[in-house]
Amino acid sequence: MRTRTQVVESQADQFLEEISQVFNDALAKLPTDDQAHLRRIMADAEAGTSKYRLLLDERAREQRVPGTMREEQTRT
């Protein structure tokens, strides 16, 4: 017959094994850098985000903000 301590230790071991499996499953499903980049591209495409429009907007914003490199270059 097992002692109460042995039963508790056995249950603790089983619980730790189950938690270990949860973490292993979660880590196995993490995307790689390539996958994350592709997911971002797909999300932007689905949302209708234009990278070219964002680039143009950023360039226009840089030209209007005092102290940016572009404003200093256009003054000279």
> CB count, 10 Å around CB of 71?
13
74 versus 7: the higher-pLDDT residue is: 7
- Give the model confidence (pLDDT) of 9-55 as tens digits: 999 999 999 999 998 888 777 666 777 888 888 888 889 988 899 89
Q: To 10 degrees, the CA torsion angle through 35, 37, 41, 44? A: 110
Structure confidence at residue 36 (pLDDT): 80
As a whole number of angstroms, the distance between CA 42 and CA 30 comes to 17
Q: Which of 33, 34, 17, 37 is nearest to 25 (CA)?
A: 17
pLDDT per position as a tens digit, 54-75: 899 999 998 887 765 655 555 5
